[in-house]
Structure 1
Amino acid sequence: MMMDILMYLFETYIHSDADLQVDQDELEDELLRAGFAEQDIYKALVWLEDLAALQQSDHHSAIASMTGRSSTRIYTTEEMQRLDLECRGFLMFLEQVNVLSVETREMVVDRVMGLETHEFELEDLKWIVLMVLFNVPGNENAYTLMEELLYSKEQGILH
């Protein structure tokens, strides 16, 4: 599954501060040895490239500049099918506690919709938020807070 590959890569290379200058062929070979399917590996790498491309895009900045702090995000039918009520509530919570801005929220929604999966739950959303915050410069404090939310939940301290 694509989400498993993304989590594996994030924990192995990004979160662990491992060498980030890994050759793509080398990376694909490692993922194949880890038991991931070649098609899923390809999709995950494209997903990561698209995440990196979001930093170069002004689209999310334009959305952020057009909406006020008190505006409410209206989700499309497709977005609501992927992001259930619990996930949408969590995104709203993250905005209210300043972990996500309007811009980073839109990036998260973009990357959630970029996943090719029928199964998506709150824990997956938390990982996507963490990946987006890690990849957008200037969000170090938000990343740290989100990391605490994610890992403290895994350890049973916080829900």
Structure 2
Amino acid sequence: MKETVLDVLMYLFESFVDSDDEPEPDRNELREELERAGFRDREIDRALDWLDGLNASEMLSTVAGPRSTTVRIFDRFEQERLDSSCRGYLLHLEQVGILTPTQRELVIDRLLALDDTDIDIEQVKWVIMMLLFSQPGQEQAYARMADLVFADDPGWLH
């Protein structure tokens, strides 16, 4: 079975989003849970590193200023990794107020950190969900995003 980093992250997200346990299990608990679930060490390490990057980037999101009226220009590397539909979707979510410009940048950073050459809209949606879920005070944005994600697949979460 070939799992990707996003598969591991989605498993964790599914496991802990509705959990009443402590909000942030430690790295060892996460590793043990993922090993029990059958994920390989390499993907576990990469997923935990990805989460560390998300946690490190949370500090940046707390200093987000007012909404910007500037236009985001994607560099060549970003354009190669994120097709026009992904880029357009990110910009749309910013325009409708689900993402701030800082959060958009964090999402782009975390998408590129997946090291996946074929990033699609579904991956973008799940990275946004994980980012918003991890940030205090983003409950409304998370709920709006969840409505968009689960409208396409209502039976996914229980």
Give TM-score, length-normalised by structure 1.
0.85
- Classify 1:57/1:98 alpha carbon distance in 2 versus 1 (closer, same or farther; 3 Å): closer
Given that 1:12 and 1:18 are in contact with CA atoms closer than 8 Å, whether structure 2 keeps it comes out as no
SS in 2 for 1:74: coil
CA root-mean-square deviation: 2.1
> 1:14-53 counterparts in 2 under 5 A?
15-19=17-21, 20-53=23-56
Given that 1:87 and 1:122 are in contact with CA atoms closer than 8 Å, whether structure 2 keeps it comes out as yes
Match status 1:111 vs 2:110: yes
CA distance in 2, matches of 1:58, 1:96: 17
CA distance in 2, matches of 1:59, 1:108: 15
Residue type matched to 2:38 in 1? G
Point out where structure 2 has 5 or more consecutive residues left out of the alignment. Answer: none
The share of aligned pairs that are identical, in percent, is: 39
Quote the offset at 1:26 in angstroms: 3.3
- Classify 1:40/1:18 alpha carbon distance in 2 versus 1 (closer, same or farther; 3 Å): farther
How many residues end up aligned between the 2 structures? Answer: 151
Match status 1:12 vs 2:11: no
- Classify 1:60/1:116 alpha carbon distance in 2 versus 1 (closer, same or farther; 3 Å): farther
Point out where structure 1 has 5 or more consecutive residues left out of the alignment. Answer: none
Q: After the TM superposition, which parts of structure 1 deviate over 6 Å for at least 4 consecutive aligned residues?
A: none
Residue type matched to 1:30 in 2? E
Give TM-score, length-normalised by structure 2.
0.86
Given that 2:8 and 2:44 are in contact with CA atoms closer than 8 Å, whether structure 1 keeps it comes out as yes
Match status 1:139 vs 2:142: no
Residue type matched to 1:75 in 2? F
Given that 2:61 and 2:102 are in contact with CA atoms closer than 8 Å, whether structure 1 keeps it comes out as no
